[in-house]
Amino acid sequence: MKRILITIMIWVVSLQLICAQGKTPKLLKYGAQTTVKRTDSAMAKWRANRLGQFIHWGLYAIPGGVWKGKTYAYAAEFLKSSARLSTATWDSLMYAFNPVKFDARAWAKMDKAMGVKYMTITTKHHEGFCLWPSKYTDFTVAHTPFKRDILQELVEAYTAEGIDVNFYYSVLDWHHPDWRYDLKNAADSAAFDRYLDFAKNQLAELATRYPKVKGFWFDGTWDLSVQKNGKWTYEVEMMLKQLVPGAIVNSRLRADDFGKRHRDSNGGLMGDYESGYERRLPSPYDTSVLKTDWEACMTIPENQWGYHQDWSLSHVKSGNEILENIIRAVALSGNMLVNFGPKGDGSFRTEELQRAKEIGDWMKVNGEAVYHCGYAGLERQDWGYFTKNEQTGKVYMVVFNVPVSLSLNLKLPRGMVITSAALVGEPTQQYQPEEVAPDQYMIHLEPKRYDKPIVIALVLTGKSKTNGNYREAKT
Ligand code: JFZ
């Protein structure tokens, strides 16, 4: 009897403790809409695309990080603030905006050759300059010597190549007089409300002028002014989804009722995918990211999104390094946006053209390990990353580090058998995996020079009989 009483007492106390920890979810009007991944076809397409191209293009491409002969090492698209230029000085760059070499079809062809399946373009970056003739401001391409609607040309050209187009939009705006970093008084709030109306109008304009757009990528939403307007962020997401059926919106737009961003006060992801992986990736072993869709974005030099004249100021990623970033994302079911910053004249710098070609040449042969692929559910090994095609069930070994022994270790769940292992791109190159333990295999590579990641396609079956001569240790 005493024992039963003690048990009940412990039970009551622990229940109280659990409640006191505040596990009751907060009631939110502007929080996450769902706790599960979207299953519609638009989202499935976005997910299957895996490799995207980010394009940062605006007035900042003209000075390219250099002002009055002085080079500023910080991000080129921040030159206005690095060089402490007035808004009037910066904005007058629009009269020099005349990218005579701009050719949307050539851009789209280059991206197609790179193996890119979607592209995200800065419609308006922090500087406030618009690449389309917005009727809500004169600070647009229509009022430059160039005049042409750049977005229209890009949407048409990329869509024609089968590449989905998404719009990046910075809510932060250095040009608009009503932008506020914080709302400290009624005047600030009134001004910022006007700004939010302006931005919402522009977004509705983008969604209706370019109905082929597939999604919106928000940025510049970290300031207190936006955090205090979670309702607006929620309404914008709803509006865009109504105007563009299937539209996909990143988590960076949103703030909830309490100003919590990306994830609401109950931990739920706002927007359709986590977009906080910027110039970093989850640890290659961090499978917790599988719970939501996610996308990383990455620059080729360090932290240069817009065109910067001098790439000698930081490490510039090689084609192989970029490929490894792409595969690392895909191996954890993420997407990767690789950033390009075209020049002020509308052409791409040689380094970017080279990277695009290198990635494209590799993707042409090995793209089947990327598109439609995600987490394979297998233990990662030092040689690289597993991916798995969600449609065919094929598993890929994407090998970045060839060991001096030339033997690649594979640890598979017990009972799983490799029925075929073939080099992608050279199907005649078949490997005979050696079974070394009931759950371990080795694949022995040819002794040769490996200067590109190789991909081995595996067909795995659940057969349980082993054929090895090993004996398990009795301990
Ligand atoms: C922002 C922009 O300021 C930058 O110019 C570029 O457009 C990039 C894609 O986004 O920069 C950020 C945004 C978020 C973080 C860091 C830089 N962050 O979450 O660490």
Q: Per-block average pLDDT, block size 10, for the chain (475 residues)?
A: 57 46 82 92 98 98 98 98 98 98 98 98 98 98 98 98 98 98 98 98 98 98 97 98 98 94 94 86 90 96 97 97 98 97 98 98 98 96 96 95 97 90 93 92 96 96 59 57
Between the CA of 250 and the centroid of ligand 1 the distance, in Å, is 13
What is the model's pLDDT at position 4? Answer: 63
Cβ neighbours for 295, distance < 8 A, ≥ 6 positions apart: 52, 250, 273, 274, 275, 277, 329, 334, 335, 336, 337
Q: Is the CB of 386 under 6 A from ligand 1?
A: no
* Contact call for residues 36 and 272 (beta carbons, < 8 A): no
Task: Quote the ligand 1 centre to 261 CA distance (angstroms).
Answer: 14
Q: Whose CA is nearest to atom 10 of ligand 1?
A: 219
Q: 278 alpha carbon to ligand 1 midpoint, in Å?
A: 7
- Output the pTM of the full model: 0.92
Tokens of 155: 């949407």
Nearest atom (ligand 1) to Cα of 56: 7
Q: Is the Cβ atom of 297 under 6 angstroms away from ligand 1?
A: yes
Dihedral (Cα; 311, 314, 318, 321), 10-degree rounding: -140
**What is the model's pLDDT at position 163?**
98
Residue 141 carries which side chain, given as an amino acid letter? V
Phi first, then psi, for residue 247 (nearest 5°) are -55, 145
What separation in angstroms does the CA of 149 have from each of 76, 142, 243?
A: 24, 7, 21
Cα distance between residue 394 and residue 332, in whole Å: 16
102 lines ligand 1 (CB under 6 A): no
Q: Is the CB of 169 under 6 A from ligand 1?
A: no
* pLDDT the model gives residue 20: 46
Distance (angstroms) between ligand 1 centre and the Cα of 170 equals 10
Pocket of ligand 1 contains residue 276 by CB under 6 Å: yes
Instruction: Give yes or no for residue 219 CB within 6 A of ligand 1.
Output: yes
- Sign of the dihedral through C-alpha 418, 449, 314, 353: negative
Q: Are 273 and 291 in contact (CB under 8 A)?
A: no
Ligand 1 contact via 305 beta carbon (within 6 Å): yes
The pLDDT assigned to 14 comes to 43
CB burial of 288-315 (b: ≥16 within 10 Å; e: otherwise) equals ebbebbbbbbbbbbeebbbbbeebebee
CA 263 to chain centroid, in Å, comes to 17
Cα→Cα distances 128→138, 166, 215, Å: 11, 18, 20
* Per-residue confidence (pLDDT) for residue 35, from 0 to 100: 86
Q: Is the CB of 274 under 6 A from ligand 1?
A: no
Ligand 1, atom 12: nearest CA belongs to which residue?
278
The amino acid at residue 263 is R
For residue 80, the CA-to-ligand 1 centroid distance in Å is 16
Q: What tokens does 187 get? A: 């005047």
Task: Report CA(29)–ligand 1 centroid distance (Å).
Answer: 27
Atom 6 (ligand 1) nearest CA: 305
In angstroms, rounded to a whole number, what is the distance separating the alpha carbons of residues 386 and 388?
7
Q: Packing angle between helix 350-366 and helix 319-331, nearest 10 degrees? A: 50
Task: At 51, list the tokens.
Answer: 């490799």
CA of 424 to the centre of ligand 1 (A): 36
Task: Please give the pLDDT value at position 462.
Answer: 78
| pLDDT at res. 15 | 44
Q: Is the CB of 75 under 6 A from ligand 1?
A: yes
Ligand 1 atom at minimum distance from 306 CA = 5
Using the mean position of ligand 1's atoms as its centre, give its distance from the Cα of residue 63 in Å: 20
Residue 458 · residue 417 · CB < 8 Å: no
What CA–CA distance (Å, rounded) separates 74 from 349? Answer: 19
